[in-house]
Amino acid sequence: MKFQRSAVIVGISLIGMMFMAGASANSLIATSPLADSTVSSSPSAVTISTEAPLIDMGNSIVVTDPRGLRVDDGTLAIDGANAVVGLKPLTVGGAYTVTYTLLTENDIPLEGSFIFNFSAPTVITTPSATPVITTSQTPTPGKTNNGSWGTSAFVIGMLVLAFAVLIGLSLYARKIFKGR
């Protein structure tokens, strides 16, 4: 009786493991301006790139100057795994703080902050408006990269092995209890 209970517990555990979703987390890949860098010309935007694609709603990026005043213009654009917020022209030299909360589908928020330094020029000129051209990469037909095939093969192999162990335990339990 104890073995049957153990076999059932092991079987249920194996079945549960087969249907568990893999863990994934979003993390920061790059920033522009770079974290802890010093820029001598006023950037027009702050860009944050993440590992996973971002959802369109619920994200925020706030940029403050050394006095604590907001210098972002509030226009947040999401393009795949990139979040871009526009900046007002920077006039005060010092450390600027970028605070962000970014959301992906089925993930916890990616929250954090970083600092970049602005070295204000002695004479500040107002730049004229220039269009910003953004390009997005389009996938080449026939070539898709859905992750590492080695990882997928490993996971599938582990599932097959777990199923084989489950079948083996079931047959063994059946053999033992038939003999009684």
- Percent of the chain residues past pLDDT 70, beyond the cut: 74
Tokens for 12?
């249920």
pLDDT of 144 higher than 50: no
The answer on 92 and 42 residing in a single domain is yes
What pLDDT score does 90 carry? 93
Same domain, 59 and 14: no
Domain contains 130: no
What is the side-by-side order of every strand in the sheet holding 38-39? 38-39, 110-118, 94-102, 60-64
Q: Which of 127-131, 160-164, 174-178 has the lowest mean pLDDT?
A: 127-131
The domain in which residue 49 lies consists of 28-118
Q: Is 32 in the same domain as 113?
A: yes
Q: Are residues 112 and 42 in the same domain?
A: yes
- What's the pLDDT at 15? 72
- Residue 73, in any domain of the structure: yes
Residue 135 lies in a domain: no
Number of folded domains in the chain?
2
Asked whether residue 162 is assigned to any structural domain, the reply reads yes
